């Protein structure tokens, strides 16, 4: 019988870049993931899509599962022989109850491993521009729970020691207990004018920082409507924020951008400028039921004089079948090749072939014009085109080629389908109102999004900025009565990213 194992993994405070390599390694090999509310939902996209997801939902006193239920779930799944990841915000051993979960596993004889994470006690101050130690200001710091029961007869916290012996104090989970924390410190001799800051959602686009003094932080936090989760920092290091604040100064700080296709490197520029990416692909690329038509076309490749690729996927699937049929690039020597878009041509280069031309316009009219300029006597009568493409592609270009006297075969190379898993995760995230920009790179990504989210999709999207990659996508969106706010002149992801930056940057 296969023996299961549990990995208790700290996911960090929010910025997905703070997830450790080791944590990611085990997440990608997990059969079951038990995860909390205070996580960057993007992390779940890096987990095996076939894994079982169990939402523990712990936040601010409201738990989807009790701690005992979480322990039982970990034990049960491990006893089923599964690799289980317990994914927790911050670090599991810093007020994360990871020790309790590890104890429960140890008592059952279940193998486990701890993968530390970046604690919000460290990250939130850093993202607010507040170092916990500094040669001129602080040589010591303490991290304290902020949710100790205020009604207890005796506190387990040495308030006098904290007030007198540490340069910097960091309180986690202390928003609701703020009056008690400040009173205890003041009663034990802490200077009322000690610089104090409170950071909500540290390292995330909705990070909010309030700087005050110990005696006034409760009042100023109420004015700023600070709610959990938040980290409070008390000490002279807080004064350094005026010089060292960096994250909140990024031009796209505060933007959380939904991408409805798989993440590619073109989107990184948005993250670099301070935006957070929420990846939820609404299309999935799969092979067709069979490759009969594509294989027949490849087998008679000498019958064509032009090969047209409309996407990277078309290139990829075409060459997979070409090689499968014991052919290679030399069999394309008599053809001219057209690629729609720079990225498609770059994919073609991977196979050692350069595109003969790339049209400036990516619609049917632009393609027809480009072909006219590349034909002798502008005659289409002898034109024979092979255009492997997606099953759902538009008919405009093939129809116009035939009307002009040319011939074109359009064998199915791949299909785009709607992913069925994890729709609830997308809905929960959207309903929380945490997306600022939604991007769509095709009519399919938009239509599938509408199907996944359901009847509430219109109400959600009408409160966001919508970016469409081009006019065809924009038309599909606007048919529903929604407004497209951002659309590049060139229908590429890179161009769309640049337009988002222009529209959303805070200068």
| Residue positions annotated with a catalytic role | 36, 58, 173
CA distance 462 to 305: 47
Q: Of how many residues is the chain composed?
A: 507
Q: What are phi and psi of 279, to 5 degrees?
A: -90, 120
CA distance 75 to 73: 5
DSSP one-letter code for 55: E
The tokens 């491990």 sit on which residue? 78
Whole-angstrom Cα Rg for the chain: 28
DSSP one-letter code for 4: P
Q: Is 294 left (phi over 0), alpha (psi -120 to 50) or beta?
A: alpha
Asked whether the bond before 255 is cis by omega within 30 degrees of 0, the reply is: no
Burial of 64 (0-12, 13-18, 19+ CB in 10 A): middle
Please give the torsion angle defined by the CA atoms of residues 381, 385, 389 and 392, in that order, rounded to the nearest 10 degrees.
Answer: 10
End-to-end CA distance of the chain: 60
Q: Which two tokens stand for residue 251?
A: 């031009």
CA distance 205 to 395: 42
Q: Which two tokens stand for residue 24?
A: 């990611």
Over 172-204, what HEC string results? ECCCCCHHHHHHHHHHCCCCCCCEEEEEECCCC
């Amino acid at each position: 019988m296969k023996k299961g194992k549990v990995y208790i993994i700290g996911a960090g405070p929010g910025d997905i870049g703070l997830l450790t390599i080791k944590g990611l390694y085990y997440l990608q090999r997990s059969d079951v993931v038990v995860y909390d509310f205070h996580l960057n939902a993007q992390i779940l996209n890096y987990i095996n899509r076939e894994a079982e997801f169990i939402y523990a939902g712990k936040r601010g006193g409201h738990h989807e599962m009790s701690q005992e239920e979480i322990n039982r779930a970990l034990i049960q799944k491990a006893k089923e022989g599964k690799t289980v990841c317990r994914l927790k915000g911050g670090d599991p051993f810093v007020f994360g109850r990871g020790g309790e979960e590890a104890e429960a596993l140890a008592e059952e004889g279940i193998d486990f491993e701890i993968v530390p994470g970046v604690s919000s006690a460290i990250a939130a101050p850093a993202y607010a521009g507040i170092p916990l130690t500094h040669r001129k200001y602080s040589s010591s710091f303490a991290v304290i729970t902020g949710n100790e029961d205020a009604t207890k007869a005796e506190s387990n916290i040495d308030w006098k020691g904290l007030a007198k012996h540490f340069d910097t104090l960091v309180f986690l989970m202390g928003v609701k207990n703020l009056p008690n924390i400040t009173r205890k410190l003041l009663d034990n001799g802490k200077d009322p004018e000690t610089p104090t800051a409170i950071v909500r959602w540290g390292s995330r686009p909705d990070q909010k920082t309030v700087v005050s003094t110990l005696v006034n932080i409760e009042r100023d936090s109420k004015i700023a409507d600070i709610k959990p989760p938040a980290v409070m920092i008390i000490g002279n290091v807080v004064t350094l924020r005026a010089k060292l604040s960096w994250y909140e100064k990024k031009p796209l700080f505060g933007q959380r951008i939904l991408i409805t296709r798989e993440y590619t490197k073109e989107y990184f520029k948005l993250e670099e400028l301070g935006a957070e990416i929420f990846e939820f692909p609404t299309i999935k690329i799969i092979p067709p039921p069979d490759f009969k038509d594509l294989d027949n076309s490849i087998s008679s490749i000498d019958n064509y004089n032009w090969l047209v690729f409309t996407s990277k996927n078309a290139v990829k699937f075409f060459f997979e079948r070409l090689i499968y049929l014991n052919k290679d690039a030399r069999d394309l020597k008599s053809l001219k090749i057209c690629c729609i878009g720079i990225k498609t041509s770059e994919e073609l280069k991977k196979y050692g072939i350069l595109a003969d031309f790339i049209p400036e316009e990516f619609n049917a009219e632009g393609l027809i014009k480009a072909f006219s300029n590349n034909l002798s006597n502008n005659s289409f009568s002898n034109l024979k085109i092979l255009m492997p493409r997606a099953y759902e592609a538009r008919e405009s270009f093939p129809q116009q080629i035939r009307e002009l006297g040319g011939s074109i075969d359009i064998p199915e190379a791949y299909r785009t389908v709607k992913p069925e898993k994890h729709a609830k995760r997308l809905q929960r995230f959207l309903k929380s109102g945490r997306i600022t920009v939604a991007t769509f790179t095709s009519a399919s990504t938009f239509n599938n999004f509408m199907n996944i989210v359901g009847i509430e999709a219109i109400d959600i999207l009408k409160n966001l900025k919508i970016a469409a990659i081009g006019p065809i996508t924009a038309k599909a969106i606007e048919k529903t009565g929604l407004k497209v706010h951002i659309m590049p002149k060139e229908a590429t992801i890179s161009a769309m990213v640049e337009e988002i930056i222009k529209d959303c940057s805070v200068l």
